[in-house]
Structure 1
């Protein structure tokens, strides 16, 4: 399975208002519940004013369109990384999954996955 390494740095944050979000950002994930409005975006497009914010994330995606009948892909990757003390922040889209790790763990995460047989695409 191919893993596409993303070149951007990411920010995970909470915002109080949807108008603060830069919808022109190339990568933008919004989660809204009855308790919060969360945002994952490239750091350069993160809102200046946030309720909470954590910078320093890097990411990769599972290449291709994943069929909904496929099971365990995200679980397998997160298990490999957890087994090496690497935390993740996962985001799923209709097509595929994106996995973020803290910048200081990113190279180690790629090595773990490569050693497990995943092919890195840069």
Structure 2
């Protein structure tokens, strides 16, 4: 197995007893992998998330689920990231705004 390149600007690694998942920007993804799915866009939940907060990701995902938008959620020590398929990205932002969430337009480009 090749090493995960941690020197790129955006990479997320999740490892369990049954899998190793690595999320890269498309331009940094290795040429070969066991499975790969392109076409995602992401947005970051604003601000540092205190561990005492509950339901933030659940609220966001519920709004998106009601609009038939599947998500791929990534959590770090500081915050959460929500990835949606490219074709649902604009709709995701719109339904979150309609639900009362503040959605800044500086969005993380997970694909160029």
* TM-score normalised to structure 1 length: 0.82
Matched, 1:50 2:33: yes
**Unpaired runs of 5+ in structure 1?**
1-16
- Give, in angstroms, the shift of residue 120 of structure 1: 1.9
Q: Which has the higher contact order (CA 8 A, sep 6+)?
A: 1
Measured in 2, the distance between the counterparts of 1:55 and 1:72 equals 28
Determine the structure 2 residue equivalent to 1:118.
101
Give distance in 2, aligned partners of 1:25 and 1:112: 32
Moved over 3 A (4+): none
Instruction: String of CA shifts for 1:61-107, please: whole Å, max 9, x gaps.
Output: 11110100000000000000000000000000000000000000000
Partner in structure 2 of residue 60 of structure 1 = 43
Aligned partner (choices 26, 34, 59) of residue 17 of structure 2: 34
CA contact (8 A) 1:22 1:46 kept: no
Higher strand share: 1
Which ranges in structure 2 are unaligned for 5 or more consecutive residues? 107-112
Aligned residues: 105
Shift of 1:22: 2.3
